[in-house]
Structure 1
Amino acid sequence: MTDDLRLVDVESKHLDDVYRVRSRSFGLLSAGDREEWLSDVQGFIDDGRIVGVVDGDELVAAARIWAFQQWWGGRKVPMGGVAGVVVAPEYRGRGVGSKLMRGVLARSVEHGYPLSALYPATTVIYRHLGYEFAGGRFRYTFPAAELRSLGGKEVSVRRAGPADAKRFLELVGQLHAAARISGPLVWPEDKVAEWLGEENSFCYLAEDGFVVYGWQSGKLRVEELVAGSEATARALWSVVGSGSSISADVEAYMSPDDPAHLLVNKEADKNTVIEHWMLRLLDAPAAISARGFAPGASLEVDLELDDSELAANTGRWHLSVSGGSGSLTPSTSTGEVLRLGSRGLSALYSGTPLATMRRAGLAWGGATAGDGAIDTAFAGATSYMLDYF
């Protein structure tokens, strides 16, 4: 490694280098998959959402930034999803990954994302840069026969397809807002239509809910199921369970708070599969104002934030929460207040109780008597994602 390491915008001329480093990180792709991968990466290049590190003229690391929206407290917040983080083997452990991720943070700020999220291959580098665990991608397994017996025959259910993408998004918006859901991604209508048109996607729509499922490794797997009523939930799960003569078990990606857990008598597999993801606030005031809060919470408190990577977040702020909305504005007050680093702020945003954060050294200072009111404001259902990116 030379001293000529620098951040660059990845360009089309770098594609061979990116693929070479990607192959050494994740393995080779088939010819067809490689062409699809190259097309996808070119889209990120065109949008200025892929950065890299070069040593001289050779690209040795790269990362992409997805333009997402993410539900937080029942509201959609712009989020840059970090993916495809690759570093050439001979450059690992030498600070190249940190240099790359600092470039990712800067580029995400330039694009105006208040939040950044990722699935970590390792936590050390990301925690050092201010990320913290915020939720999981949860997969549960249920006996198909139990799902089949849930009933709901009085509910009208029909097959759905790409033309129903708009309605699917409307239902998700209505139900996630009402339940103050946190974590799931918001996909554009054309991507949802593409998903609904996939050969292995079995899609069914009711008046107030839908399900998308398919076969995966010889088992039925539910990718998403939302329902606005008990009857619809029973009907949609019964549709999935109708395959019980072929698949004894059904795997499902879902929230730990999903009502299905209360409808079925048991899980087939007690070992829930969890893929943890991490969150970071890039623009603290924008992230707070975009998020939803507990409707009955009322809060006026000063905070001291210390963000060693993004100086704009550092300083004393006044947090105000009322009527389900929040704001973070500069404060000139003095005295001892609750203090948070960037990891602590990310954990608080995702609903981690302050008592837990204090014991982990992510929050300190201020009167603990006020912690409960802060916890109440940020509290809600467990944060989760359905998608891996």
Structure 2
Amino acid sequence: MSDALRLVDITEDQLEAVRQIRMAAFGPMGARDRDEWLKFAAKFVADGRYLGVADGDDIVAAARICAFHQWWGGRRVPMAGVAGVVVSPEYRGRGVGSLLMRAVLRRSVENSFPLTALYPATTVIYRHLGYEFGGGRYRFSFPAADLRTLGGKEVELRRAGPDDAQLFLDIVGRLHATRRSSGPLVWPVDEVAAWLAAEDNFAFAADDGFVVYNWSGEDLSVDELIAGSEQTARALWATVGSGSSVATSVHAHISPGDPVHLLAGQEADKKAEVQRWMLRLLDAQAAIAARGFAPGAVLEADLRVEDPDVPENAGDWHLSVADGSGRLTRTQSGGEAVRLGPRGLAGLYAGTPLSVLRTAGLASGGSTAADATIDTAFAGSTPYMLDYF
């Protein structure tokens, strides 16, 4: 690596150079997309959330940090979403990506994010930096004609628009808390309003649910559908399915445990698509305190964490769980501590059973007799996201 390489905060006049690297990584960008991308990227520059690597005066790598909240165990946890990680082709394989990502981790820690997540183009670099798979983004396809027959005609639906953004957030928040969801993102109200204002989207609301969908070629695609009752779920899915006179299939980004899997007469197409995303803890103490845990679970366990890239996480900890909440406190070294690196800690946080982590070499030590109690505390529905970033 060149001695001239240095970490920088990307400035607006450097965005065109970043765009050129991005096209080398992800393909060409049209003029209209170019203008939209530059406008979008400038927001990250203004907030100090666009980092880069420069060789002399030339930008050779860049990444941006999205300020999200993410549901974990039915509670919202601040999360740094890492996106747009690009390295100029001639600098790949020379440690530039690792240099950049370590700066991203440090900036995210400084901005008080307990968690970070990303969709990996390759897992090798991110695992080396402590990320591990946390969940997936699932797309299932159903016959439109089958959904059309689900009923729910007694439920009153209305067209929804930008003024309903806060209502949508309130419905989502209430239902994710009740279901103890893990993984979905929480978007700012202005972003939700812009989504509902898009002329290509069709949005309908009920008192306890909503749907946003659009055309995808000759099929229909559901961005989000959430319902708090059987009849509302039936009504919303039937509304989407009402396009079956033209559409053969309805593609939907939903969780593997969505009620539609139990309502639909025919199972989803077996060719379901899954994009896996990775998770990392940046502040283990804050991440545990913010997360929801299984109601009724009672746990006292010692952990020993090794984390060379975020040393604040390293050391001996005592984990307590009760009444759906968790607490991590510093403690003295214990011989029965479960030993975890950052990948194992991320896997545990996401609900991966300790037996699996042990078999993968990501956990060791402690008493295996206590593994089931620890698993129960972190257990819940399959972590999933609806959005790609």
Question: What value does the CA root-mean-square deviation take over the aligned residues?
Answer: 0.9
Which position in structure 1 is the counterpart of 2:160? 160
Aligned counterpart, 1:2: 2
Corresponding residue for 2:318? Answer: 318
Q: What is the correspondence of 1:36-51 to structure 2 with a 5 Å cutoff?
A: 36-51=36-51
Does structure 1 retain, via aligned residues, the 8 Å contact 2:202–2:212?
Answer: yes
Which whole-Å CA distance do the structure 2 matches of 1:268 and 1:255 have between them? 12
Number of the residue aligned with 1:232: 232
Would the aligned equivalents of 1:140 and 1:267 in 2 still touch at CA under 8 Å? Answer: no
Match of 1:87 in 2: 87
| Distance apart, 1:265 and its partner CA | 2.1
Which letter does structure 2 place at the counterpart of 1:347?
G
CA distance in structure 2 between the aligned counterparts of 1:301 and 1:222, rounded to whole angstroms:
42
CA contact (8 A) 1:212 1:223 kept: yes
The alpha carbon displacement at 1:218 in A equals 2.0
Shift of 1:13: 2.8
Q: Which amino acid aligns with 1:12?
A: E
Q: 1:141 is matched with which residue?
A: 141
CA contact (8 A) 1:319 1:328 kept: yes
Q: Is the 8 A contact 2:306 2:342 kept in 1?
A: yes
Describe how 1:93-172 pairs up with structure 2 within 5 A.
93-172=93-172
Alpha-carbon distance in structure 2 between the residues aligned to 1:209 and 1:336: 47
Work out the CA distance in 2 between the residues paired with 1:334 and 1:360.
23
Q: Residue in 2 aligned with 1:367?
A: 367
Structure 2 distance, partners of 1:162, 1:218, is 26
What's the counterpart of residue 27 of structure 2?
Answer: 27
| Cα drift, residue 39 of structure 1 | 1.1
Residue ranges of structure 2 left out of the alignment (5+ in a row)? none
1:188 aligns with 188
Residue by residue, what CA displacement relative to the aligned partner does 1:76-125 show, whole Å, maximum 9, x if unpaired? 00000000000000000111000010010011111110000000000000
Instruction: Give the secondary-structure state (helix, strand or coil) at the position aligned to 2:265.
Output: coil
> Do the aligned partners of 2:302 and 2:336 also contact (CA within 8 Å) in 1?
no
Superposition deviation, residue 169 in structure 1: 0.5
- CA contact 2:218–2:248 (8 Å) conserved in 1: no
Q: Which runs of 5 or more structure 1 residues have no equivalent in the other structure? A: none
Question: Which amino acid counterpart does residue 355 of structure 2 have in structure 1?
Answer: A
Decide whether the 8 Å contact of 1:339 with 1:363 is kept in 2.
Answer: yes
Confirm or deny: 8 A CA contact 1:249 1:268 kept in the other structure: no
**TM-score calculated relative to the size of structure 1:** 0.99
Distance 2:290 2:38 in 1: 34
CA–CA separation in structure 2 for the residues paired with 1:147 and 1:186: 28
Q: 1:315 is aligned with what amino acid? A: G
Q: Deviations over 1:12-51 (max 9, x none)?
A: 2322211111111112211111111111111101100011
Take 1:220 and 1:111, find their aligned partners in 2: how far apart are those partners?
A: 39
> For residue 244 of structure 1, what is the aligned residue in structure 2?
244
Q: How many residues were matched structurally?
A: 389
User: TM-score with structure 2 length normalisation?
Assistant: 0.99
Cα-to-partner distance string for 1:280-336 (whole Å, 9 max, x where unaligned): 000000000000001111111110000111111000000010101101110114323
> Hey, what does 1:352 align to over in structure 2?
352
CA displacement at 1:268 relative to structure 2: 4.9
CA–CA separation in structure 2 for the residues paired with 1:92 and 1:217: 36
